[in-house]
Structure 1
């Protein structure tokens, strides 16, 4: 089976990171790019044996590129601190890594929890994101916000959900909304 490195970027994610790391603890390596967390994020990640780096913040795309650079293995799973890999998805990923000639990248259906409820419709689900890929075949773009993996080669879709606990309440929804719109405007101004 091919070895897997997991990349996670964080800043003050102590409320989420343990659940996330529990869900990927089976991986061969965990690389965490931390943006100067002031809570217990780093200490929790150290409990899981994560390799932790703190480069200068230059946006989400750059942070994820930095994470991939520090990975020892070619196969990368990128996951956010507020996301969880289910047991079913874990098994599916392991199956992909066991085949002789896998595709270059895989899109994962992401299911979002909004204020305690799963969103099962509209453009929110399934929200396919390319998060499992061979770093020799592609990588993250330079987008400051809403970064994405770009691969020219063959891709496929996985069947099992990655869970996204992004918005526990309206306050967090508007905090993220304001943060992303500000970063998006700054990116357009460059």
Structure 2
């Protein structure tokens, strides 16, 4: 760890992440503060965190029941005390280039209140995707007090920024976890269900065009536009899994919408 840390509060939410959280924490060693919010770990995650606290990492640990992704991240963000706040998931970490770049990003001129950080995915049976794969950047580094989550969002939560934001010129967030298909499909099903509930809550009705065309378009977006074809069969599987998520989200929206309006056609035992 460096003697002089950056004016950054990194914040991480977790539950049962003992296999991944250590790498995340170590990549944040230059930050002045690391906020970790745990929602009931039983796999040794809490002991791991205490071990890193004992090693001198500037961790503040909070234990809190799970209220949903956006609400938990907003709680973590609210605990940050440094001028800049950095969001990471427990299975993510900063690569060396981004760690070096971080010191420059937090010296941004007034009015630049957030930075979009690029992302590098790891695929099962492959490893990290090539640099040429364009997964996409998202807002992860924000000035304290100038960004917030919409806490009623159920899934795919994102930060809403007041003022200007830019994209970091170098470095990436590494997503270290690569799930086999049987686990990834379960995750996609969970996300699709939350997405359908979110759309229904917003008053959205089933969208025939999206039900039919969104899955193949999603596949083409990932496989061709984002260049996952460079990863061979693992890239094809990733794109196809994304298409399955797109289909499930739209199909679940249709079923939930129909069940709410035509309860006579809904079999509660199914």
Counterpart for residue 24 of structure 2? 20
Structure-1 separation of matches of 2:92 and 2:78: 22
Structure-1 separation of matches of 2:24 and 2:111: 25
- CA distance 1:38–1:2, change in 2 (3 Å): closer
CA drift of 1:98 comes to: 3.4
- Consecutive unaligned residues in structure 1, runs of 5 or more: none
CA drift of 1:131 comes to: 0.3
Q: What's the TM-score once normalised by structure 1's chain length?
A: 0.89
Which of 27, 46, 58 is equivalent to 1:42? 46
Counterpart for residue 118 of structure 1? 128
Give the superposed CA RMSD: 2.1
- Looking at secondary structure, tell me which structure has more helix per residue: 2
Structure of higher CA gyration radius: 2
Aligned residues: 189
Provide Cα deviations, 1:36-61, integer angstroms capped at 9, x if missing partner: 11111111122222211122322111
Provide Cα deviations, 1:51-99, integer angstroms capped at 9, x if missing partner: 1112232211100110011112131000001111012101111112235
CA drift of 1:121 comes to: 8.4
Counterpart for residue 29 of structure 1? 33
Structure-2 separation of matches of 1:59 and 1:137: 22
- CA distance 1:121–1:93, change in 2 (3 Å): closer
Structure-1 separation of matches of 2:113 and 2:189: 35
- CA distance 1:102–1:162, change in 2 (3 Å): farther
| Counterpart mapping for 1:1-190 below 5 A | 3-49=7-53, 50-99=59-108, 101=110, 103-115=112-124, 116-120=126-130, 125-142=134-151, 143-158=153-168, 159-190=170-201
- Consecutive unaligned residues in structure 2, runs of 5 or more: 54-58, 202-270
- Looking at secondary structure, tell me which structure has more strand per residue: 1
Structure-2 separation of matches of 1:37 and 1:189: 31
Structure-1 separation of matches of 2:131 and 2:23: 25
Structure-2 separation of matches of 1:84 and 1:121: 16
3-state SS of 2:64 partner: coil
Q: Which has the higher contact order (CA 8 A, sep 6+)?
A: 1
Structure-2 separation of matches of 1:92 and 1:102: 19
CA drift of 1:100 comes to: 5.0
